Structure 1
Amino acid sequence: MLSTLLAPWLKNQAVKLTCCDKWHETEDTISIKLACTDENHLAKFKPGQFVNIGLHIDGKMEYRAYSLSSTPFDTDLQLTIKRVEGGQVSNYLIDQLQIGDSIMMLPPAGEFNSVDHPPRHNKVLCISAGCGVTPVYSMAKTWLSHNPHCDVHFLHIARSPAHTIFFNELEQLHRDHDRFTLSLLLKDNLQTSYPQGHLDQAWLEKLIPDLHDRTVYLCGPTQFMEDVKSYLIDLDFDMSHFHAESFTPTTNTQDHIDKKPSQTMTLTVPSFNKTVAIESGSNIADVLEAQGLPLIIACRSGICGSCKCKATLNSTNSTSQATLTADEIEQGYILACSSQIISDSEISLG
């Protein structure tokens, strides 16, 4: 039934998965295992990548992007989801998804991965905070199990061990592998063997003495990532060996639009015989969604690329072109979730 709710041009890409296990990692974070009903169609992925999943909630198909926390060699796919205040999909997955329920999944995607960006000298530094641990955890497990020469230093920032996703698993990796070093920096002053503090340039130098020999993979909240990047730059780290991912929007996209008197524009979607009058500066994804058109809007921050569509050249203003190639941009492709209409526009879906 779920597949009938997908846009026709997505049906051949989507895979139906079944939730075969579910458990809490922390009080506000769960992991779920997903088994494919047809193993031949179980998509392979590169460690660090994400998937867009579709769920039928309150009569509507909702899409969100989540990083994979399993490895490409595991039998089932694993997603790890942290509760988001007011988050429709994350709250549904945590509170209502049952073992045996079905989820639609689109093929894995994402430039942040350990295959397209392999480490130099087989020395890695994974830095994460919050649920940003998910993709780098997948990378670390893959390196340890399939690269006998890779040395992994894993630095995670958390409030406490109880709030650390994969805390027990990370400690087990530290015990089992001489090539894996775990550094936790905790915010709460608790009686643990891990230091308490706020990550800054001094902590990076202290915890990672061979920092300049490593390739850095970073994921976490936007401000955290911007801070870490600035620390590395100040330390003269070779940023050609720095890779980062984040699903947190940096700002309200409307803040980037020049403040001009509102005007009425026309947005047309010929393939669905839709024409709608909207105000200049309107978010294109919001408009298409309100019209009931089949557009996947997953990350809503211009990162995952799921809402790619084609618009009349120079009719939109975009704050993110993260997953678009130069050729696509020249042809008029946009990411609808981070694009606003500035003149009459014709949109092509699919």
Structure 2
Amino acid sequence: MILWRAMAENLTTEGFAPLRIKQVVRETCDAVSLVLDVPEDCSHRFRYKAGQFLTLLVSVEGRDLRRCYSMSSAPLEDELRITVKRDPGGVVSNWLNDTATAGSELQAAPPEGKFVLDEGVSATAPLIAFAGGSGITPIMSLVRTVLADSERPVKLFYANRGRSSVIFSDALEQLADAYPDRLTVRHHFDEDAGVVSPETIDSFAGDSAAGHFFICGPTPFMDTVENALLSAGVTKDRLHLERFTVAEIPVDAAETQDTEEVVIELDRKKTVAAYRKGDTLLQVARSAGLRAPYSCETGSCGTCMARIVEGSARMVNNDALDDDEVAEGWVVSCQALPTSPRVHMIYE
């Protein structure tokens, strides 16, 4: 686990730094890319891996809000670029699309996320990616990196409602022209072929015995792809998922537990909080007035990792921790529901 510390002069106590917008690129009518300038004194903190994201802290109508946006640039390009798609009801994404201008500043925390290329994977093992809508953002960073840094073949399945929704259309064409023997791109348009089916996924994936699979997009799309690949024999260690939306906690998710209190250790201080039925452990910490670490709130990034040292909890969604970490008592607290009368957790 990596804990970001505010060491550079421009970093706040929570790790946020002011990044100036160098360029605003209109990708589609409802998606914009922002090229960000990182201050020299904290540039080392903003080095990133392909597939990672930034957490932005913005103030909209008097509310301080945090949102995560993936880099669409690749580290080798020596550029920090995020891409944001307008979303119905998306306060921050819509605000950025409407108001972001070159020269203005955004508060950002250093890059995070585990949706990255596996170290030690063969330089010739295929990368097979499935993107839906704005899910192309981290996929684009991964594709660019693999094509430039290895000999691995790349297959990209990109689903959109229609042709006008395709982000990076020109860039994908340029990559296909530059790497005709290594890059395969297949576009799927719901308006022509209906929603993506398991059969379509099977047909595109081909031999499931080889390669690593990266999936990002709307939840229904991701579920279809994940289930199809698992049914085809792809092992979980070769599946990599990045979720953009906060996973909803089912109404009856905590019906069987009778937790009374939660003990939270944060920054070497211990707090005892009463438990309100249905709350995640992160929500308990917030209700107690604690500034617990968090970012994506989908169970994907691992920022809110905590270790259970007494009692038990179960995770509604977990795309960040491996089996060994879970066995050691780690949870992503944004998705963890207590399952014992008393729970003691430590943010380390």
Counterpart in the other structure of 1:185: 188
Q: CA distance change for structure 1 residues 36 and 144 in 2, over 3 Å: closer, same or farther?
A: same
Letter in structure 2 aligned against 1:166:
F
CA contact 2:261–2:272 (8 Å) conserved in 1: no
Q: CA distance change for structure 1 residues 266 and 180 in 2, over 3 Å: closer, same or farther?
A: closer
CA contact 1:265–1:280 (8 Å) conserved in 2: no
Q: CA distance change for structure 1 residues 57 and 250 in 2, over 3 Å: closer, same or farther?
A: closer
Deviation at 1:99, TM superposition (A): 2.6
Q: CA distance change for structure 1 residues 97 and 188 in 2, over 3 Å: closer, same or farther?
A: same
Please report the TM-score for the alignment, with normalisation by the length of structure 1.
Answer: 0.79
Counterpart in the other structure of 1:110: 113
Is 2:182 the partner of 1:217?
A: no
Deviation at 1:115, TM superposition (A): 4.2
Is 2:321 the partner of 1:319?
A: no
Q: Deviations over 1:65-123 (max 9, x none)?
A: 22211101223211112233333332332233333333333332322212437356343
CA contact 1:268–1:347 (8 Å) conserved in 2: yes
Partner secondary structure for residue 107 of structure 1 = strand
- Say which is worse superposed, 75-84 or 99-108, in terms of deviation: 99-108
Matches within 5 A, 1:280-299: 280-299=277-296
Letter in structure 2 aligned against 1:229:
E
**Take 2:312 and 2:207, find their aligned partners in 1: how far apart are those partners?**
49
Partner secondary structure for residue 30 of structure 1 = strand
Matches within 5 A, 1:296-311: 296-309=293-306
CA contact 2:190–2:196 (8 Å) conserved in 1: no
Letter in structure 2 aligned against 1:35:
D
Task: Report % sequence identity.
Answer: 24
Deviation at 1:28, TM superposition (A): 2.4
Long gaps (5+) in structure 2: none
**Take 1:292 and 1:29, find their aligned partners in 2: how far apart are those partners?**
36
**Take 2:14 and 2:242, find their aligned partners in 1: how far apart are those partners?**
28
Counterpart in the other structure of 1:171: 173
**Take 2:287 and 2:213, find their aligned partners in 1: how far apart are those partners?**
41
Partner secondary structure for residue 73 of structure 1 = helix
CA contact 2:216–2:243 (8 Å) conserved in 1: yes
Deviation at 1:162, TM superposition (A): 0.7
CA contact 1:23–1:31 (8 Å) conserved in 2: yes
Matches within 5 A, 1:245-256: 245-256=242-253
Deviation at 1:287, TM superposition (A): 4.0
Long gaps (5+) in structure 1: 190-195
Root-mean-square deviation over aligned CA pairs:
3.5
* Equivalent in 2, 24, 30 of residue 28 of structure 1: 30
* Equivalent in 200, 204, 222 of residue 203 of structure 1: 200
Letter in structure 2 aligned against 1:99:
A
CA contact 2:278–2:337 (8 Å) conserved in 1: yes
Letter in structure 1 aligned against 2:73:
S
Matches within 5 A, 1:1-350: 11=13, 13-38=15-40, 40-116=43-119, 118=121, 121-147=124-150, 149-178=151-180, 179-189=182-192, 196-204=193-201, 206-207=203-204, 212-237=209-234, 241-259=238-256, 265=261, 277-309=274-306, 313-314=310-311, 316-324=313-321, 333-341=330-338, 343-344=341-342
Partner secondary structure for residue 256 of structure 1 = coil
Partner secondary structure for residue 121 of structure 1 = coil
**Take 2:214 and 2:326, find their aligned partners in 1: how far apart are those partners?**
27
Counterpart in the other structure of 1:192: none
Please report the TM-score for the alignment, with normalisation by the length of structure 2.
Answer: 0.79
- Say which is worse superposed, 29-38 or 121-130, in terms of deviation: 121-130
